[in-house]
Structure 1
């Protein structure tokens, strides 16, 4: 039985530890994401941001703690139950993952054809509505090879929200975009979140654009949740890690080198001939 109300978090991590095999990437993670919020999960490269996204979508299971999505324990779901939860989500992958043999319209229409029984006229109406929301209604007929990288990201965004999901996850949505496309994409994420009254989670290291649209920021590093709060609160923080990350400083508590793990030590022993 799902007794979730509109005021309950759509996503809740409680004392969660995440990792792969024997290696723990993050531990002690507590976070909440509510309807209508844009939440940024930030950290340096290799800090575990994408691991958080994989955990929220049920691709990996928490080593410790609980992850609830739409009021359900995601670790207890499998098969049809997991598929139903994932259908309530939209995901914008880092590379867009568009089908190059389909035109813009058919790329956005794909989830509707795959997961719904709506009529062709409804598909046309819904797809053109979402393309209009990202400023690309008149590009519906174009091949993917005929549009720019920034336009392709907006097509992928339209596809991610065409089923009007309750939760949208964005994996590095600003990576590789020029300044204009970057600003447009940020405002589209904010606008679509408000229009659909969904929750949006950004996995990102882009400070300026994320802070401009986020309601809440969670910052991970050194294997844990370093800081959380509103963009304004974090901007005023004197925490050494937060200051180093926000200012892009090379020296500080964030180490450049990937941490040594038991798995690496074992591998190194095998390859250097140590007994």
Structure 2
């Protein structure tokens, strides 16, 4: 009997007993996560729960204080600057605001990464860009300037740009923020379709429950500095955990505290302030 596990590709992203923070303040601890090629994974949590901190760790911008963050099997804390850049070229990032170049038209926005990072000819660039614009339903908008398209269309252009290099891992920072219901549904479907088409891993940093649950294979819910729950959308929906129920239902009362937690940095600041008074 052949052991096929020996030939399995490494996860696109994995976190093993990771702790992340800034200075004395630990934002998250004991985080375990695995994202396989072809999977759509949603990282969910309230504002300030550490979702964006996880995104920074995944791209190597933030080193964990404990544990290991690996991309494509490589420990991000052990690679040099060139190695990190090589790993980042295998990733695509869709920022919350889209970050399109307002002085370029739709076509040139999507073509930009190809011109910067590949030796492709103009003919090859044209084919690749129009293919990706077609995938997001905007092939016929290639000539338009950014100012001439809607916010929902701009998000789809940014999505086309994020996948034009055909990355193995795409990180989406609040991809549904500020979208109307129709654009929101379209964007969610595109994320799922592009992940299936490219067989890339997709990680959504989001607090949008309905659209994320409709397309995600697995959901990681962070809160109160830890991983509250991980599982399929159905498993989270059926959970009786008070925090999970409060988050999914949007209830104002529950385990989530209204007060921001005190930290050693705050205590030091407060002591300094009180010292000034005396």
1:255 is matched with 257
1:62 to 56, 61, 64: 64
Match of 1:234 among 231, 236, 241: 236
How big is the shift at 1:6?
A: 4.0
CA distance in structure 2 between the partners assigned to 1:239 and 1:274 by the alignment:
45
Cα distance in 2 for partners of 1:143, 1:10 equals 35
CA distance in 2, matches of 1:198, 1:131: 18
Which segments of 5 or more consecutive residues in structure 2 lack a partner in the other structure?
Answer: 1-5
After superposition, give the CA deviation of every residue in 1:94-153 in whole Å (9 maximum; x if it has no partner).
Answer: 110111111110000000000000000000000000000001001101110111100000
Task: Give the C-alpha shift of residue 256 in structure 1.
Answer: 2.1
What is the alpha-carbon distance in structure 2 between the residues aligned to residue 8 and residue 47 of structure 1?
Answer: 28
Normalised by the length of structure 2, the TM-score is 0.96
Q: Aligned-pair RMSD on alpha carbons?
A: 1.2
- Shift of residue 8 of structure 1? 3.0
Give the Cα–Cα distance (whole angstroms) in 1 for the partners of residues 18 and 147 of structure 2: 42
Q: Does 2:163 match 1:175?
A: no
Q: Counterpart of 1:109?
A: 111
Match of 1:43 among 32, 42, 45: 45
Structure 1: unaligned runs, 5 residues or longer: none
In 1: Cα distance, 2:152 partner to 2:69 partner: 34
Aligned-residue offset at 1:258 = 1.8
Partners of 1:162 and 1:18 in 2: CA distance: 31
Map of 1:131-170 to 2, 5 A cutoff? 131-170=133-172
Please say if 1:121 is aligned against 2:123. Answer: yes
Q: Deviations over 1:136-186 (max 9, x none)?
A: 001101110111100000000000000000000000000000000000000
C-alpha displacement of 1:227: 0.3
Where 2:77 maps in the other structure, the secondary structure is helix
